[in-house]
Chains A and B, each alone.
Chain A
Amino acid sequence: MKQVLITTGATVTFQELMKSVLKKVFLNRLVEYKYDHMIVQYGKSEESIEFIRKLISELGNFNVKEYNNKDTGHNFEFLYDLKGILKVRCIQFDSLLIENFTSLSDLVISHAGTGSIIDTLRITQRDIRLIVMINEKLKDNHQSEIADAFKSLGVLESVGSNGDELLIAVDKIENDVVGEKCSRRRLPPSNGSIVERIVNEEMM
């Protein structure tokens, strides 16, 4: 199994990211790179269901199953089999996303929020590649600063809000087996226990 996970912010759907991945040229590229599972977490809002339904219908005539699941909300599921077979499943939101999906993926594409980035980079039992898409419409939430800072550590690739840049990043990662051209370093272990020492010092 080779799986890609695409995840948007939990509350607000990052529409550019969804448009970039629920698109023929992107799905074909995944098939080319031998991906057979694609999971999309598209967000909790009601409007997003209609938005995803529209994007899928524009892909062509697939036999799309829609169902409700108590853990993952409104699901869309179909087999993309134009140039090969890719099982696509879109879920609304899973509170156990890390355990159920992230940790089983080979590639994660997410928005450039710190929560999503850390969730992926802190998984150590599997070598997961990460691409973040900066939500350029959001002002004041520092996504590009965050993406740049992590990129300078060499732990992820970052792209702007457009599908072409995303395709280039996927190509770069898939053609870079030895990890020479692009970032695949591990994030250094977290140093949170320092807080314990600081609290201790302040209590003396």
Chain B
Amino acid sequence: MEETKFTIIVSILLILIISILFRLIAILPACHVGKHVNNKDDIFVMKNSKKMMILLGSGGHTGEMIRILEQCNNMMKNLNREYIISSGDSTSILKLKKMEESLTDNNKDNKDKYKITTIYRARNIGEGKFKAIINTLISFKSTIDNLLFNGNNYPDVFLTNGPGTAIPIAYILFILKFLGFTKTKIIYIESLARVNQLSLTGLLILPISDRIIVQWEPLAKRYRRCEYYGILV
């Protein structure tokens, strides 16, 4: 009797492990290289209902992201945009509003198509380790709250260029994708400051990111999945 029980348990476990593996292979972008359809015609399939989530970091990251978005008129006009900003980052909000205003000045409807979500960000400078851990946890919880309990309206694309906050968001989205709740594509743009080596954020996001765009050629040569199209900012 015990033998049969044991065999059943082991079989179930094996089936579980194997299905998890298959699921992972199915959704891990790193397992599917070189199947980008290069759509040369600029026909936009973006429907009005599609949603993009854009993470703005502090200072340099926001500056680069805004420079890029300013060159993407069609995309900005056609998609719903949700910006994620860290608490206390008023400079990013100012820059963002300025850009959105210049984008939408001819088009009143477009104004309703973007929203800004603030997530709590730990400021660890000069604080004790204990406080730093607590702050990081609060920050992580705030991220989960904003992503998960957001009316279940997950984005179609998550676009980021590298503040550390990208990591929890990207992995939460990936887990949701694994469980089949969303099909969010993750697009990562490496900062212009990275010439020869990916940043830590870049390395951590590499396995789960659908596209990784770098801005210097040595990076594209070094990492198989990085795409290079010249400087983007």
What residues of chain A have their CB less than 8 Å away from a CB belonging to chain B?
10, 113-115, 118, 141-142, 145-146, 148-149, 187-188, 190-204
How many angstroms from the CA of A87 to the CA of B110 in the assembled complex?
47
What residues of chain B have their CB less than 8 Å away from a CB belonging to chain A?
36-39, 42, 44-46, 50, 52, 59-60, 63-64, 67-75, 79, 156-157, 159, 185, 187, 189, 191-196, 210-211, 213, 216, 227, 229-233
How many angstroms from the CA of A194 to the CA of B231 in the assembled complex?
10
Q: Within the complex, which residue of A118, A145, A190, A199 is in contact with B75, where a contact is CB–CB below 8 Å? A: A199
In the complex, chain B residues whose CB is within 8 Å of the CB of A202: 157, 185, 187, 210-211
In the complex, chain B residues whose CB is within 8 Å of the CB of A191: 229-232
How many angstroms from the CA of A202 to the CA of B233 in the assembled complex?
21
How many angstroms from the CA of A203 to the CA of B232 in the assembled complex?
21
With contacts defined as CB atoms under 8 Å apart, how many contacts are there between chain A and chain B in the complex? 105
Q: Within the complex, which residue of A145, A195, A203 is in contact with B195, where a contact is CB–CB below 8 Å? A: A145
Distance in Å from the Cβ of B206 to the closest Cβ of chain A?
16
Q: Tell me the dominant secondary structure on chain A's binding face.
A: helix
The answer to whether B193 and A198 touch across the interface, beta carbons within 8 angstroms, is: no
**Can you show 8 pairs from A to B with CB atoms below 8 A apart?**
A113-B60, A190-B71, A191-B229, A192-B71, A194-B229, A194-B232, A199-B157, A203-B45
The answer to whether A196 and B193 touch across the interface, beta carbons within 8 angstroms, is: no
Contact A192-B195, Cβ < 8 Å, known A198-B187, A203-B46: no
In the complex, chain A residues whose CB is within 8 Å of the CB of B194: 142
